[in-house]
Amino acid sequence: MQTCPVAVALALLAGLFASPGAAQNPDPMDIRACTSIESDAARLACYDQATGRANTEVEPSAPTQAGAANMFVHDAASLVDSEKPATTARSLLDSRWELAPESKLGTFNLRGYKPIYILPVFASSNQNRQPHSPNPDNTLTEPAHLNDVESKFQISFKTKVWQGVFGDAGDVWVGYTQSSRWQVYNSKSSRPFRETNYEPEAMLVFDTHYRLLGWDGRLLGVGFDHQSNGRNNPLSRSWNRVIANIGFERPGWVVMFRPWWRIPEARHDDNNPDISDYMGRGDVQIVHEWNRQEFSMLLRHSLRGGARSHGAARFTWSFPLAGNLRGYLEAFKGYGESMIDYNHNATYLGVGITLLDWY
> C-alpha dihedral over 187, 189, 191, 195, to 10 degrees?
-150
CA distances, 331 to each of 31, 82, 298 (Å): 82, 46, 11
What does the alpha-carbon distance between residue 133 and residue 111 come to, in Å, rounded to a whole number? 36
Per residue in 109-143, is it b (16+ CB within 10 Å) or e — as a string? eeebbbbbbbbbebebeebbeebebebeebebeee
Q: Is residue 178 a contact partner of residue 196, using CB atoms and an 8 Å limit?
A: yes
Q: Is residue 118 a contact partner of residue 351, using CB atoms and an 8 Å limit?
A: no
What does the alpha-carbon distance between residue 339 and residue 336 come to, in Å, rounded to a whole number? 6
Q: Strand, coil or helix: what is 308?
A: helix
The active-site residue out of 39, 156, 180, 226 is 226
The active-site residue out of 132, 180, 228, 288 is 228
CA distances, 189 to each of 82, 125, 194 (Å): 66, 20, 11
- Backbone conformation region of residue 323, classed left if phi is above 0, alpha if psi is from -120 to 50, else beta: left
Beta strands 253-262 and 282-290, pairing class: antiparallel
Question: Is 19 tagged catalytic?
Answer: no
**Which of these, 113, 128, 150, lies nearest to 350 by C-alpha position?**
150
Question: Is 228 tagged catalytic?
Answer: yes
CA distances, 221 to each of 17, 170, 255 (Å): 79, 9, 14
Render 117-167 in DSSP notation, one character per residue: EEEEEEEESS--SS---SSGGG--SS-----SEEEEEEEEEEEEEEEEEET
What does the alpha-carbon distance between residue 146 and residue 334 come to, in Å, rounded to a whole number? 20
Q: Is residue 206 a contact partner of residue 217, using CB atoms and an 8 Å limit?
A: no
Which residues are catalytically annotated?
Answer: 226, 228
